[in-house]
A = this chain, B = another copy of it.
Amino acid sequence: MTEYHEYSLSGRVFHKLQDDILKGNYKEQDELKELTIGEELGVSRTPVREALRQLELEGLVKIIPNRGAFVTGISDKDVADIYYIRSLLEGLCARWATEHITTEQIEELESIVLLSEFHSNKADSTQVVDLDGKFHEILYQASNSRILEHQLSDFHKYVKLARATSVKTKERTNKSIAEHKAILKAIKDKDADLAEQLANEHILNVMKNLHKMGEILEDK
């Protein structure tokens, strides 16, 4: 997100721990000791402390004064809640994007949809996932609201990492691309109401698909 995180040690520690927590590499209530983590990553306690303080603000870690930092993690219910919240906010985002989008951004979205259709028939699913992420990021920017953009980027990152395992079926991938196409058309037609509704439903559909995947996985 912010440049500083790429270059400073504390930023790198932050990202590493965030990824590990969201990917489920820690158990709930695991203790994150400053010295231990520092040794694992080859840094001193200072950058680790700074990272832990940031993770606390994100709600991924709970800090008890003088006692330590403990993993909070993100439950299945949390993920579901985020999808409901996201569906509302992506709707609002599509509405605002309709009002503020630039011709350059529309062109970007069109080329993403095109590329998505091209890659959807190939085996490589990471490409399509990447393009999906880009599609939404551009919409966030087009909303012209740094608050909403910040919020949705955060949520997007969360569900992406927390559910990295949920590979999409080819059927769902194609439907998803068709939904993107419909949202883009509504935005181009300046139909804010429709854009909002379609974006809203799009996220709910993504969530429903996750549920189905979960049930399939549980059945095994």
Contact = CB atoms under 8 A, between A and B. Distances in A.
A65 to B, nearest CB: 5
Contact of A63 (B2, B64, B81, B88): B2
A147 B147 CA distance: 17
A57 B57 contact: yes
Interface in A35-55: 46, 49-50, 53-54
A215 interface: no
A64 to B, nearest CB: 7
Majority SS of interface residues in chain A? helix
A7 interface: yes
Contacts of A54: 53-54, 56-57
Interface of A: 2-4, 7-8, 10, 46, 49-50, 53-54, 56-59, 62-65, 77-78, 81-82, 84-85, 88-89, 92, 145-148, 150-151
**Which 4 residue pairs of A and B lie closest in terms of their CB atoms, listed nearest first?**
A81-B147, A88-B88, A81-B145, A4-B65
A98 to B, nearest CB: 14
Contacts of A82: 147
Contacts of A3: 64-65
A84 B93 CA distance: 11
Given A81-B148, A151-B151, 17 more contacts: A3-B65, A4-B63, A7-B65, A10-B53, A49-B50, A50-B50, A53-B53, A54-B56, A54-B57, A57-B57, A59-B150, A82-B147, A84-B92, A85-B148, A85-B151, A88-B88, A88-B89
Number of copies: 2
Contacts of A2: 56, 62-63
A116 B155 CA distance: 36
Contacts of A148: 81, 85
Contact of A50 (B8, B53, B85, B146): B53
A63 B7 CA distance: 12
B78 A147 contact: yes
